[in-house]
Structure 1
């Protein structure tokens, strides 16, 4: 096993293909989360099981783009929304967009994959929740934040039709187009 997070607690190592035919690999997701600083295997295993149980529904749902962008701006760019505390959902959404931003920076020319994006989002949510909790600005629980980050990363990937960084439609397609759309707002 290349990664140390408890793979034996995850029942099946791969998601079944979603409606677009994408396979998601639990072991890879967990490994990427660990590589990006996550240290809580219980949180990660619960989040990937949450994805496994809900992936069919998530692949059909839209992303609440406005709320995700607002959460990212408030949490990472310091743009206030008159709220002292951030709930688990907004923490997870902001972390998922930060993961997309980091993912696009790491993926120079197409080497990144969906499992990397989801793992990175989960690790970002764990870090962000801890940071905001230490500041007294987090409400809810860390598991819900990690689950939401994984969910949003999954949705962003499936929304981009899993077409990789640029997709088949040229510039502006795939995850690159999605990142530009979300992060330029």
Structure 2
């Protein structure tokens, strides 16, 4: 069994749900967003994305506690800078830093390019999570191919999904539920703080 390193310890990666009968409830649509943003998504990637969403679904009660949703802003910013500044030729990344950096990149695209939106006037949580998972998958392939990644791809995608969810919740100032979400200005403010 593979393990995901998250805030507060290591957690076993959840098994994939297969087929169209997946019951991922709140996070279901993030799968299609991940596949559309990944581009070259394979059946294996589909399984990894599905498993990451199962991981989130199974930990909803954990995220419902505000004390479990703090974001290490410095860690997220360092990870993003190292991965996307073009100056990390010698850097080595674990699954946790790959996930954090991927989620930050998704937030950057999400808030700067008009990438999201919902009929309720908020922004789409599942689109942000899907974009983060797609970024993590591509980053892990790139860094692992260059011998600069440790851990496993599933853990990196899990980490990105969780980081994106936590940033979304921070942007709306609260819990996991609800159909609306943070306003554009809320996530823009968060992005500008992280990515200035």
Q: Where on the TM-score scale, by shorter chain, does this alignment land: which range? A: 0.7 to 0.9
One of 171, 175, 179 as aligned partner of 2:187: 175
Equivalence for 1:164: 183
Equivalence for 2:143: 132
One of 72, 75, 88 as aligned partner of 1:64: 72
CA distance in 2, matches of 1:116, 1:125: 14
Calculate the aligned-residue CA RMSD, in Å.
2.2
Name segments (4+ residues, structure 1) moved above 6 Å: none
Q: Which has the higher strand share?
A: 2
CA distance in 2, matches of 1:183, 1:126: 21
Q: How many residues align?
A: 161
C-alpha displacement of 1:102:
1.1
Distance 1:115 1:79, change over 3 A: same
* Structure 2 gap ranges (5+): 1-16, 173-180
Distance 1:78 1:9, change over 3 A: farther
Q: Deviations over 1:81-108 (max 9, x none)?
A: x963210000000000011111113326
TM normalised by structure 2 equals 0.75
TM normalised by structure 1 equals 0.79
* Structure 1 gap ranges (5+): 16-24, 167-173
Report if the CA contact (8 A) 1:58-1:154 is conserved. Answer: no
CA distance in 2, matches of 1:79, 1:68: 17
